[in-house]
Amino acid sequence: MNTQELYEKYKTKMHRIADVRNANAVLQWDQETYLPPKGAAFRGQQISTLSEISHKLFSEEELGDALQELLSKDDLSAEQKRNVELTFEDYTKNKKYTSAFVRALSDQTNKAFHAWIESRKQNAFAVYEPELDKLIQLKKEEAQILGFEQHPYNALLDEFEKGCTVNLLDKTFSDLLPRLKELLQRIASQPQVNDSFLQQNFSKKEQWDWGMHLIKQLQFDFEAGRQDMSEHPFSISFNKYDVRITTRIDENDFSNMTWSCIHETGHALYEQGLPEELYGLPLGEACSYSIHESQSRLWENNVGRSKKFWQHYYPQLQNYFPDQFKETSLELFYKGINKVQPSLIRTEADEITYHFHVYIRYELEKRLIEGSLSAKDIPAFWNEHYRNLMNVEVPDDKKGCLQDVHWSHGSFGYFPTYSLGSFYAAQFFKTAELQLKDLNNEIAEGNTANLLQWLRTNIHNKGRFYTSEELCKAVTGQTLDVIYFIDYLLDKYTSIYTL
């Protein structure tokens, strides 16, 4: 078999694996959107079976042999070579897991997910604890299976962000948090802005229509995706021509939906911008979780909470909700949607205190995986740190440690990518501003086509060719530096709070 024939064989195998994984993603999407309640148990079983099958397919010796042989070839294109290298990395990692472990993890994840749902209904962490505890044991086992240096949590962090470590995150947070605290204090000494206009009655139907309008304007391709409702907004992709996002609507709180729509659209635009011909191959996949999050946050915050953005969209919003917004000027609206105030719920947090939420989860996960804390200690740790760090009292578990779905998905090591995403977003957006001279005027005119094109060219089209850090350097000329994020915050809040 010559090199190109061998490469084709490898591609066919990867397509089959991608088909199974994406089929499983359809089952998951359906589980969160349309699954009737009694169908949950069998659905969990179906998802476990597909997980096991995709794991088996990706462990086949024949694939390993083909990869080994391809690695020794010198007539692959740079793109082909990179695909093979990354696949071999993934393959080697995947081979560490046994089928039994994959199934056990999938089954336990399913149990934990349903226990989490039930515990939220009862507003009692104790309902969740036994299943979560078993899942944590499996994640500790996983860290051992994967292997690590220095800290077992590093093995799990690496799953979401290659090369990310406890050392690195400790340093990042210890650089960042004092500066955020200082900024927070300066803001606290100024008069608070008013956002009461966001808590009025906004009908579900009209919010839905408004959200769909906005998403369309942001160039979400509805021929290649859709939006539905779910309890927790998320985005998921089955291929670049079928990217789905969800939202939720609170009739008494406008702030819930709009920015979740923009956020998930940011994720979706990335997926819809991946190269088609690379379906199932690493270069047809997103770079990393943090870069994915940089796209959602860039659209949600750097664009979607900017004054220029609302210069264009606020009159439209006022047309959708004339009664609710007739008394509120653009200036007051802009200030209100950027109100800074320590609070209980991560997804509703402002752009500063958001990172305290992440930090608490990070510190907690580190301890759970190293074993210095266990599931039963979560509520006390959680509540104490919310009190110490943000001076907020957690009234119950639902508003505390039961608020996020991530652990019940087995996602330990995920949260830090949210903060990294904000930092990358600030650095990318600054670079875009420098390179697209007219960017801010365009945004003020509701024209984000050039910005999207810039993201497509510099980020989306690259797939996984670069690591996060390499990509950051290729796009911005330097590796990640939180100073961009801090400057962005200073600039924004100095004006809003007249600091």
**Which residues in this chain contact a copy of itself in the complex, by CB under 8 A?**
15-16, 19-20, 22-24, 26-27, 30, 34-39, 41-43, 45-46, 48-50, 52-53, 221-226, 228, 238-239, 241-242, 279
Active site residue 264: yes
Q: Which candidate in 52, 131, 264, 271 is catalytic?
A: 264
In the bound state with a copy of itself, the residue whose beta carbon lies nearer, of 227 and 448, is 227
**Cα separation of 7 and 80, whole Å?**
8
Give every strand in the sheet of 225-229, ordered side by side: 225-229, 242-247, 235-239
**Cα separation of 369 and 384, whole Å?**
19
In angstroms, what is the minimal distance from the CB of 277 to a copy of itself? 12
DSSP line for 155-170: HHHHHHSTT--HHHHH
In the bound state with a copy of itself, the residue whose beta carbon lies nearer, of 204 and 387, is 204
**Cα separation of 271 and 45, whole Å?**
28
Residue pair 13/63 in contact (Cβ under 8 Å)? The answer is yes
Residue pair 422/291 in contact (Cβ under 8 Å)? The answer is no
In angstroms, what is the minimal distance from the CB of 226 to a copy of itself? 5
The residues near 428 (Cβ < 8 Å, ≥ 6 apart) are 294, 298, 455, 458, 459, 472, 475, 476
In angstroms, what is the minimal distance from the CB of 137 to a copy of itself? 24
**Cα separation of 490 and 426, whole Å?**
12
Residue pair 109/408 in contact (Cβ under 8 Å)? The answer is yes
In the bound state with a copy of itself, the residue whose beta carbon lies nearer, of 22 and 302, is 22
Residue pair 427/480 in contact (Cβ under 8 Å)? The answer is yes
- Answer positive or negative: Cα dihedral of 97, 101, 106, 108: negative
DSSP 8-class letter at 344: S
**Cα separation of 96 and 448, whole Å?**
44
**Cα separation of 290 and 492, whole Å?**
23
In the bound state with a copy of itself, the residue whose beta carbon lies nearer, of 104 and 392, is 104
In angstroms, what is the minimal distance from the CB of 43 to a copy of itself? 7
In angstroms, what is the minimal distance from the CB of 149 to a copy of itself? 38
In the bound state with a copy of itself, the residue whose beta carbon lies nearer, of 131 and 271, is 271
The residues near 351 (Cβ < 8 Å, ≥ 6 apart) are 301, 305, 338, 340, 422, 489, 492
- What distance, in Å, lies between the first and last C-alpha atoms of the chain? 69
In angstroms, what is the minimal distance from the CB of 46 to a copy of itself? 4
In the bound state with a copy of itself, the residue whose beta carbon lies nearer, of 56 and 399, is 56
Residue pair 193/382 in contact (Cβ under 8 Å)? The answer is no
In angstroms, what is the minimal distance from the CB of 384 to a copy of itself? 40
The residues near 399 (Cβ < 8 Å, ≥ 6 apart) are 344, 345
In angstroms, what is the minimal distance from the CB of 67 to a copy of itself? 20
In angstroms, what is the minimal distance from the CB of 61 to a copy of itself? 17
In the bound state with a copy of itself, the residue whose beta carbon lies nearer, of 41 and 188, is 41
H or E element at residue 238:
strand 235-239
The β-bridge relationship of strands 225-229 and 235-239 is unpaired
Q: Which of 31, 30, 25 is nearest to 51 (CA)?
A: 25
Count of CA atoms in the C-beta half-sphere (13 A) of 410: 21
Q: Which amino acid is at 49?
A: T
**Region for 411 from its dihedrals, namely left if φ exceeds 0, alpha if ψ lies in -120 to 50, beta otherwise:** beta
In angstroms, what is the minimal distance from the CB of 9 to a copy of itself? 15
Dihedrals φ, ψ of 113, to 5°?
A: -60, -45
In the bound state with a copy of itself, the residue whose beta carbon lies nearer, of 336 and 463, is 463
Residue pair 451/436 in contact (Cβ under 8 Å)? The answer is yes
Q: Which residues are catalytic?
A: 264
